[in-house]
């Protein structure tokens, strides 16, 4: 099944496999639930980022199984996974690899030989990426953008697919090096990993104190993942959905003539064309995983927050008003009628049942 990674896939071939793609997604969800409890939404976004060929930044407090999640996803997709614990003394060569002197036994000459670092894998977990200095962060960002490592003028291509899943702790800020906006922009998604519910925590404790962790059997393999990545790039996007993605980003720029008042009040810099690209590919991946023949507005709504929340630079007025990036994204979504209607429908569906439940939600 191995083919050229840049080869286009006929739409008919994708349409014929939509049912199987959805079945594979459901099997992956089922198997991941055996190892990971209460992270269904995070898992779906992570799978979508992988199929879209984008890197992902997970933000959450320690102890929420982020490392186990990446390892388990790699197992179900048949991909190799590696983990790097970022520390203040980590050097670029500790990630990319280094040149070492090698003695050739035949000629007796000493030559440099490149020893590959842990970055030569399919899924790389960059744990606590904001704990290492900018020089080391930059080495990782070059690999993320170019999918290659350069050492002594020699280019070493990384494995295909290559994806970085980075984590950062939002609590501790001492001895950290926050990623600049330009480097944050390389990540397709920023995913918030929240605390589990009471029922989920009960299942977690029951699971972790009575059983040992089991390895998951692969459901897909590397070639199938590459095929799905090519399928995502050719999945049909209606013109109105594409226009909404562009409109969403343009509305976030305070210098635009039709920017809403809250954008001018709260945002210093809005989302650029890369955000439009990731909104489109993320929506494509979501529709494909759901087994649908074309992208819909709900797919765009599904990826709006993880794509935009780390690309909006809020000003001091927003900070003084207690405004979070997600609040701004919700206001931007409401500026587009089709997305506003979908969000209102989702809020209504999530509201507690009965008149008292609705009144409580409205007051909250």
What pLDDT does 360 receive?
45
What pLDDT does 178 receive?
86
Model confidence band, residue 204 (pLDDT cutoffs 50, 70, 90): confident
Average pLDDT over residues 74-88: 92
- Domain(s) labelled CATH 1.10.8.80 in the chain stretch across 236-364
Higher pLDDT, 13 or 260: 260
- Domain(s) labelled CATH 3.40.50.300 in the chain stretch across 1-87+121-234
What pLDDT does 29 receive?
92
Strands (E) in 153-303, as ranges, are: 154-157, 163-168, 187-192, 267-269
Cβ contact 305:313 at 8 Å = no
Which residue has 């029922």 as its token pair? 199
* pLDDT tens digits, one per residue of 213-222: 678 899 999 9
* pLDDT tens digits, one per residue of 174-191: 778 888 888 899 999 999
Model confidence band, residue 3 (pLDDT cutoffs 50, 70, 90): very low
Residue 112 backbone dihedrals phi, psi, to 5 degrees: -85, 135
Residue 233 backbone dihedrals phi, psi, to 5 degrees: -70, -20
Topology of domain 1-87+121-234 in CATH is: Rossmann fold (3.40.50)
What pLDDT does 19 receive?
87
* pLDDT tens digits, one per residue of 32-56: 988 888 888 999 999 999 999 999 9
Residue 116 backbone dihedrals phi, psi, to 5 degrees: -65, 140
Average pLDDT over residues 73-86: 92
268 vs 130: CA distance, rounded Å: 23
294 vs 300: CA distance, rounded Å: 12
**Assign residue 137 a region: left if phi > 0, alpha if psi is -120 to 50, beta otherwise?**
alpha
Give the contacts of 128 (CB within 8 A, at least 6 positions apart): 85, 86, 167, 168, 169
pTM summary value? 0.88
Model confidence band, residue 318 (pLDDT cutoffs 50, 70, 90): very high
pLDDT surpasses 60 at 361: no
Q: Does domain 236-364 bear CATH number 1.10.8.80? A: yes
pLDDT surpasses 80 at 108: no
């Amino acid at each position: 099944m191995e083919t050229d990674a840049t080869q286009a896939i006929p739409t008919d071939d994708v349409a014929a496999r939509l049912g199987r793609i959805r079945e594979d997604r459901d099997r992956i969800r089922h198997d991941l639930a055996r190892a990971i409890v209460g992270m269904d939404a995070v898992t779906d976004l992570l799978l979508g980022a992988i199929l879209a060929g984008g890197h992902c930044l997970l933000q959450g407090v320690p102890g929420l199984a982020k490392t186990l999640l990446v390892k388990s996803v790699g197992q179900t997709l048949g991909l190799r996974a590696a983990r790097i614990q970022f520390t203040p003394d980590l050097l670029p060569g500790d990630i990319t690899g280094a040149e070492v002197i090698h003695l050739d036994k035949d000629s007796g000459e000493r030559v440099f030989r490149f020893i590959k670092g842990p970055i030569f894998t399919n899924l790389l977990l960059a744990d606590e990426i904001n704990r290492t200095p900018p020089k080391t962060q930059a080495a990782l960002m070059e690999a993320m953008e170019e999918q290659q490592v350069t050492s002594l003028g020699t280019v070493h291509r990384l494995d295909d697919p290559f994806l970085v899943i980075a984590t950062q702790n939002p609590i501790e800020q001492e001895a950290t090096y926050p990623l600049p906006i330009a480097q944050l922009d390389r990540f397709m998604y920023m995913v918030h990993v929240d605390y589990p519910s009471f029922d989920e925590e009960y299942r977690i404790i029951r699971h972790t104190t009575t059983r040992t962790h089991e390895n998951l059997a692969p459901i897909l393999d590397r070639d199938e993942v590459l095929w799905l990545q090519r399928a995502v790039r050719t999945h049909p996007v209606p013109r109105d959905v594409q226009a909404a993605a562009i409109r969403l980003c343009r509305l976030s720029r305070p210098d635009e003539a039709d920017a809403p008042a809250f954008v001018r009040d709260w945002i210093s810099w809005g989302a650029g064309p890369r955000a439009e690209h990731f909104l489109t590919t993320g929506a494509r991946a979501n529709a494909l995983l759901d087994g649908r023949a074309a992208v819909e507005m709900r797919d765009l709504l599904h990826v709006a927050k993880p794509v935009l929340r780390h690309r909006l630079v809020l000003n001091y007025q927003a900070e003084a008003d207690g405004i979070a990036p997600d609040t701004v994204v919700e206001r931007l979504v409401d500026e587009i009628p089709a997305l506003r209607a979908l969000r209102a429908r989702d809020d209504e569906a999530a509201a507690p049942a009965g008149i008292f439940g609705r009144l409580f939600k409205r007051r909250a």
